[in-house]
Amino acid sequence: MTRDVLTVPSNITVQQLVAEYFLVHRHSGYPVVEGGQVIGIVTMHCVRSVPKDRRATATVREAMIPCEQAVTVKPTASALEALNTMARENVGRVLVLDGPRLLGIVTRGDLMRTIQTRQELGE
């Protein structure tokens, strides 16, 4: 799990999101925050769903997946449970939430690296 998660504010435009996050950082999804609380997640798929001519005015809040619909796991979930959840929901990342509090994010890549490292170490 990545604990120091880069989050995005809900009120920036989709164009700003692309320019300041997707084109700068290696991530393909970000938790969205408003007033210090996680309110959703925004992914490349979300961005693609906004017509190019609307990206300069549409906000991240309008494009995001709300927390109620986002795929999440509890901090007690095992790596296998997280992987099964991602596979079942056909997503590449899950938010790790303790109630409303964001503890981290787990990506498919995180899990694959962990499995590879364990195999290399013989664990």
Q: Walk me through the domains of the chain, giving residue ranges and CATH numbers.
A: 8-121 (3.10.580.10)
Q: Is the pLDDT of residue 123 over 90?
A: no
**Sign of the dihedral defined by the CA atoms of residues 59, 22, 42, 97, in that order:** negative
- State mean pLDDT over 44-61: 97
Q: What is the pTM of this model?
A: 0.86
Write b or e for each residue in 67-84: b if 16 or more Cβ atoms lie within 10 A of its Cβ, otherwise e.
beebbbbeeebeeeebbe
DSSP 8-state secondary structure symbol assigned to residue 22: I
Q: Considering the chain, what is the average pLDDT of its residues?
A: 93
Give the DSSP H/E element, type plus range, for residue 4: none
Q: Is the pLDDT of residue 100 over 90?
A: no
The torsion region of residue 46 among left (phi > 0), alpha (psi -120 to 50) and beta comes to: alpha
Q: What pLDDT score does 2 carry?
A: 86
Q: What pLDDT score does 29 carry?
A: 93
Q: What pLDDT score does 74 carry?
A: 95
Query: How many residues can be counted in the chain?
Result: 123
Confidence of residue 114 (pLDDT cuts 50, 70, 90): confident
